[in-house]
Amino acid sequence: MTLVDSHCHLDDPQFESDREAVLERALAAGVSRFLTIGTGEGPPDMESGIRLADRYDAVLASVGVHPHDARKATEETWRRMERLLAHPKVVALGEIGLDYHYDNSPRDQQRAVFVEQMRLARDARKPIVVHTREAWDDTWRLLEEHWQPSGLGGIMHCFSGGPEEAGRALAMGFHLAFGGVVTFPNAAKVREAARNTPLNRVLVETDAPYLAPVPMRGKRNEPAFMVETARRLAEVREQPFEELAKATAENFERLCLPLQSING
């Protein structure tokens, strides 16, 4: 059995004291590969994921400006991001998108930064990792205009919508990444979406150190806990756990590593 954590924040300060032990526990649990999200504290530092990918064979990285940090982006941000996207272990651009819940950056800046990063991802031929919260309408509009024509696809990170949103994302070529939310008692619509998603479009993630699954709620999340999420997802979909694990790992590699051979 092998699993891929398609979205985690291994650079988070919560892992500073025991990061290697966290990775060892995950590898022992059957998680063989990790995509650590390289948004960090926002620009100018976008190398947080790359530093870890360079250090650990099993870790891959993304780069991106989170919508919370859109106000920090400058022209120099885009020049540096273009260079960083060429790093051999950077396999995606993200997480990017819109967050109208916290509004940590003005909405017009969020939209402009989202569009610019889609342009960079198109040029680099890399998939995008999308964060959307309370912003579905604008997210769809911008994706339809600036991303769907590329045909590159991407990942709807920590998918929290229902069947309607799932259908729309799938029609645009996205994979849906399910995290701990799928285990929450009040997430019936997410489970319905997960049940109906084609197997070749399903991914699993932790968003560690956030959103620990049941029965670890309230604890710091870590990649080893993804086994609980994957087991629940397999139950919801009424398929063997090993089948789900194998398919989601293959889905990740097909999307993010089509032209690469990464050791680990």
Report mean pLDDT in 10-residue bins for the chain, 264 residues: 94 98 98 97 95 98 98 98 98 98 98 98 98 98 98 97 98 98 98 98 98 97 98 98 98 87 40
Q: How far apart are CA 7 and CA 252, in angstroms?
A: 11
3-state helix, strand, coil in the chain (%, to 5): 50, 15, 35
Phi-psi label, residue 167: left if phi above 0, alpha if psi -120 to 50, beta otherwise: alpha
**The total number of residues written for the chain in this structure:** 264
Query: Of 96, 48, 87, whose CA–CA distance to 69 is shortest?
Result: 96
Check residue 5 and report its DSSP letter: E
Bridge partners of residue 130, in order along the sequence = 96, 156
User: Alpha-carbon dihedral of residues 60, 161, 125, 61, nearest 10 degrees?
Assistant: -10
Superfamily the domain 3-256 falls into: Metal-dependent hydrolases (3.20.20.140)
What pLDDT is recorded for position 36?
A: 98
Burial of 17 (0-12, 13-18, 19+ CB in 10 A): exposed
What pLDDT is recorded for position 258?
A: 81
User: Alpha-carbon dihedral of residues 192, 186, 184, 212, nearest 10 degrees?
Assistant: 120
What pLDDT is recorded for position 88?
A: 97
What pLDDT is recorded for position 263?
A: 40
What pLDDT is recorded for position 26?
A: 98
Adjacency order of strands within the sheet including 90-99:
3-8, 31-36, 59-63, 90-99, 128-133, 154-156, 174-178, 202-204
Q: How far apart are CA 82 and CA 93, in angstroms?
A: 10
Q: How far apart are CA 262 and CA 88, in angstroms?
A: 9
What pLDDT is recorded for position 196?
A: 97
> Could you tell me the pTM of the whole model?
0.96
